[in-house]
Amino acid sequence: MRVYFVRHGETDYDVVQSRGVRGWATSFAPLSALGRLQIDTIARDFRLQEADAIVCSSYARALESAALLSRALNKSLYVEYDLHEWLPQKDPLGEIDGDLLRRATVRLAPGPGGAGDPWESIDEVRDRVLGVLGRYREFERLIVVTHAVVIQSVVGTHRSIDHAEIVPYDLDAEPVERFAMSASAIEH
């Protein structure tokens, strides 16, 4: 399966921060005007035109990006919780600790992470994403609208990924045993 990862468009965090929203609730922030323009622009890319469907993260910035693409491309849209952003702390109701976030970001690298780390490792991100993508194997070409770290975890890059950037990836190159293990680990 050919996957076209798309990072969501630029986000307008001012709209939620001006209302005192903090922590995980900032995931409700919509796209900025520029973010909407970015997505409208990439909707013309020939690679996206030939995709069979769109799958996206449930975070507002990815969901809005995917909805714009779905409308422009006339493609079915599926929302998957496990395509969400990297978790700098695993407790979704906890207040985000700035010091913990800085330490987690520095340690975010391939490998299992440190024993007892309260954040999600890059391998954990990759495993949950592969588990989701395994449910869409019937498609030949799939657009996946998600977040930079999620894309980086699957394609194996550490470079920055721009808003609305398209990153092609051949999922069939994944070792079958790792993909099967990842999918079964997510289901339990």
* pLDDT digit string, tens, across residues 36-88: 999 999 999 999 999 999 999 999 999 999 999 999 999 999 999 999 987 75
Q: Is the dihedral of CA 75, 1, 130, 150 positive or negative?
A: negative
Q: What is the value of pTM for the model shown?
A: 0.82
So what's the pLDDT on residue 124?
87
Q: Class assignment of domain 2-187?
A: alpha beta
Read off the pLDDT band of 185 (50, 70, 90).
Answer: very low
- pLDDT value of residue 23: 75
With the C-alpha atoms ordered 100, 101, 104, 105, is the resulting torsion angle positive or negative? negative
> In one letter, which amino acid is 66?
A
Question: What φ, ψ does residue 155 adopt, rounded to 5°?
Answer: -80, -15
CA–CA gap between residue 4 and residue 167 (Å, rounded):
6
- Total Cβ atoms within 10 A of residue 68: 21
pLDDT band at 93 (very low <50, low <70, confident <90, very high): low
Q: State residue 97's pLDDT score.
A: 62
Q: What are the extents of the domains in the chain?
A: 2-187
Helices (H), the chain: 14-17, 33-42, 46-49, 60-73, 98-107, 122-133, 148-155, 176-187
176: pLDDT confidence band, cut at 50, 70 and 90?
Answer: very low
Q: Name the average pLDDT for the chain.
A: 84
Contacts of 150 (CB under 8 A, 6+ apart): 5, 57, 83, 84, 85, 86, 125, 129
What is the rounded CA–CA span in Å between residue 57 and residue 78? 9
Pick the residue with more confidence: 178 or 90?
Answer: 90
Beta bridge partners of 5: 144, 167
How confident is the model over 96-115, as pLDDT tens digits?
666 655 555 555 554 455 55
Contact 4, 139 (CB under 8 A): no
Read off φ and ψ for residue 33, nearest 5 degrees.
-60, -40
In whole angstroms, give the CA distance from residue 188 to residue 82: 13
State residue 153's pLDDT score: 92
3-42 per-position pLDDT tens digit: 999 999 999 999 998 998 877 778 889 999 999 999 999 9
Using pLDDT thresholds of 50, 70 and 90, give the confidence band for residue 166: very high
Residue 86 DSSP code: P
As beta bridge partners, residue 3 has 142, 169
